[in-house]
Amino acid sequence: MTPDERFERIESNLDKLVEAQLRLTESVSSLTASVAAFVQDSHARTRRLEENLDALIRAITTEHKNGKQKG
pTM of the model: 0.61
Contact predicate 42/36, CB 8 Å:
no
**Three-class SS of the chain:** CCHHHHHHHHHHHHHHHHHHHHHHHHHHHHHHHHHHHHHHHHHHHHHHHHHHHHHHHHHHHHHHHCCCCCC
| Cα(15)–Cα(13) distance, integer angstroms | 5
Instruction: Give pLDDT tens digits for 14-71.
Output: 999 999 999 999 999 999 999 999 999 999 999 999 999 999 999 999 888 887 655 5
